[in-house]
Structure 1
């Protein structure tokens, strides 16, 4: 065989090996198939990376180009402890313009890490972009601070950061589940089955001295405001009230309905703020969410 023919035969054999390798790689390699809907309504499969589920709020101090900046992340225990913070943009400039949400420019939730101390307050915005508020930090420990807000022209965000209160810390176990909670002479009963990965309707019914309360006062644009926190990592869940005062169909008690989606199985702590007699009170519950299809 001539030298030219030997070279040609070698090249052909290399191409054959390469073709087999490509075929094997396609047959055995990882493949993710997604359905893409076209304008004509038909779906077509394409390779694509899996889409990660959206994280619950409050797990990050920076998101969407905005950062929750706590002036003093370490403080000492005090019944009226001053708290100062800013929301800064991607350039480090303090945000001074916000869109009102539930009748406030910003909602601040301060909760101890063992979920035993909860406060929902509304700080004052100063012209330099600094927010300030007095909080009850009389019990030492590690706290999580959540800022729930909408910057003007920006997305709705819930940012979270840590606050350390010096002193002796005696963490408390999570209270057991109970069908009702007592606060200042009021009884609040909880009905509904929290579900994983799909919307759940939870109904909280307020009574006093055994009689239903039918004249609840609006608070933050509803007859109640509910915050849900995942016990394992303090993820902050957005809970939406069913109906609103003055819509002609939502009664002023005793029942208050809320829609929420629990992202995972596990224990959660619920905090219901409701107003009656011009006083806002908070009822607290523990709920355990089961795996999908198993309910509690």
Structure 2
């Protein structure tokens, strides 16, 4: 073997060894010290025709409306988030329709599905929305769900970075959640891509069905669904129901795969959240399962 060949093999060996060591180190104790690359598909304007084929929350701008965060990097802790929704005229929107008792719903979640927060910012007279979020190190996504006055409902999303040492694990599939206060919350029903799926969330406390759920945002519960990976924000519609123990929903899932589901409910004056992690089948698989 000649000298150049031996040197090339030696260099390749060093490269492989270094790459393997780096991969192990980041998997065991990853540190995020720079903003993540943006996942916003709408860095430039996304038209209604283009966005019609996308689930909500994947773009930062659509139909002339854009989500603009004042800051995108935060230290860990409870931090103030400020943002505007600019309209087709380039100015902050100050007039919104009320949906589910609020003008705007803000969802914040880390990209691994943890840290879910469903909050309602306060709107300043100049069109700036303000709210505090509890943030731990990691890459986050925030979603603004709103309807401009007289317009169509939109969900826009943007990335947020919280530098620091991260701890993360892949969630285990689950349709049963234990919630602080002695609550057991169970999800029944199957998600199938390409069709409407009937889901029911049932609430018990200390083994007794809860039949006195309190209205929260105009319903006895709200369900948010995010697709694992890109965190696409999906359509989930609450159905009319009694105040427990069962709360029905209809979900529209555009693809097969894993999904994070978050169920907000109010009882004894406190809003609580149950989290689920489920897999949606393809529509063909769902039909095949029905035949058996």
Please classify the TM superposition score into its range, dividing by the shorter chain length: 0.7 to 0.9
Partner of 2:106: 108
CA distance in 2, matches of 1:90, 1:166: 34
Q: Verify: 1:228 aligned to 2:225, yes or no.
A: yes
Displacement of 1:238: 1.8
- Cα deviation, 1:175-221, whole Å, max 9, x if unaligned, reads 22223110011000111111111100100100011100000000011
Tell me, what secondary structure is at the counterpart of 2:284?
A: coil
Counting only pairs closer than 5 Å after superposition, residues 35-50 of structure 1 correspond to structure 2 as none
CA distance in 1, matches of 2:150, 2:242: 34
Partner of 1:67: 66
Compare the two structures and name the one with the higher helix fraction: 2
Gap runs ≥5 in structure 1: 1-50, 244-249
Query: Which stretches of structure 1, 4 residues or more, deviate above 4 A after TM superposition?
Result: none
CA distance in 2, matches of 1:151, 1:109: 18
- Cα deviation, 1:140-159, whole Å, max 9, x if unaligned, reads 11100000000112210000
Displacement of 1:290: 1.3
CA distance in 1, matches of 2:262, 2:209: 20
Partner of 1:201: 198
Size of the aligned set, in residue pairs, is 237
Partner of residue 172 from structure 2, selected from 173, 176, 179: 176
Q: What's the TM-score once normalised by structure 1's chain length?
A: 0.78
Tell me, what secondary structure is at the counterpart of 1:293?
A: helix
Tell me, what secondary structure is at the counterpart of 1:161?
A: strand
CA distance in 1, matches of 2:211, 2:265: 12
CA distance in 2, matches of 1:231, 1:287: 10
CA distance in 2, matches of 1:237, 1:146: 11
Q: Is the 8 A contact 1:116 1:172 kept in 2?
A: no
Displacement of 1:291: 1.6
Tell me, what secondary structure is at the counterpart of 1:75?
A: coil
Displacement of 1:95: 0.4
Q: Is the 8 A contact 2:51 2:62 kept in 1?
A: no
Displacement of 1:53: 6.2
- Cα deviation, 1:76-109, whole Å, max 9, x if unaligned, reads 111x210000000123200000000000000000
Displacement of 1:293: 2.1
CA distance in 2, matches of 1:235, 1:266: 12
Partner of 2:53: 54
> Max radius of gyration: which structure?
1
Tell me, what secondary structure is at the counterpart of 2:198?
A: strand
Q: Is the 8 A contact 1:219 1:274 kept in 2?
A: yes
Aligned-residue CA RMSD (Å):
1.4
Partner of 2:30: none
